[in-house]
Amino acid sequence: MFDFTQGTNSSSPFWNVVSGFISKPTEEEKACQSPKPILLNTGDVEKPYDWDPATVPISVFQIGDMFVLNAPGELTTMAGRRLRRTIEDTLKKGGVESPVVTIAGLTNTYTHYITTFEEVRRRGKGGGE
C-alpha cells in the first residue's frame, strides 16, 4: 500500500491521495508526464514559498574552441550526449569548425533529473539507451 517503486508506470491509490494534498495535476500536466504518473505535483505550488523555480540560471563559457555548458540539473548519459551533439551542431553552423563541448552539471541551482523520453518509457523494462 505504501510502496512507491521507481520506474513504475502505474499509480497507487495511497500515493494518489497523498499527492492530491499538495497540488492536483491538471490533465495537461498528466499528459506532459505520461507515461509515468506524477507523484508530487509541485510546479505550481507557491505556499509558503515557490516549491520550484520559474526560471533557472544557465551559462556557456568559451575558451578557444572549448565550450563549457553549465546545466542546473543531473543529466542521464543519453540526455547529455544529445545536448552535447545539439550544441556542437549549432556551433558548427555558426562557424566554429571543431568545437569541444563539455557539460558541467549541477551548477547554479538544482532542478531535477534530466532524461530522454525513451529512457522514461524503458524504466523498469530492462535498461536505458
Q: What is the pLDDT of residues 46-98, one digit of tens each?
A: 989 888 888 888 899 999 999 999 999 999 999 999 999 999 999 999 999 99
In whole angstroms, give the CA distance from residue 122 to residue 129. Answer: 9
pLDDT > 70? residue 4: no
Mean pLDDT of 18-45: 84
pLDDT for 92 equals 97
Average pLDDT value for residue range 93-110: 92
Q: How far is CA 14 from CA 17, 19, 23, 49, 107, in A?
A: 5, 9, 15, 26, 35
* Alpha-helix runs per DSSP H in the chain: 13-22, 27-33, 77-93, 117-122
What percent of the chain lies above the pLDDT cut of 90?
37
Distance (Å, whole) CA 64 – CA 124: 43
Please check the confidence at residue 129 and state whether its pLDDT lies above 50: no
Confidence at residue 87, expressed as pLDDT on a 0 to 100 scale: 95
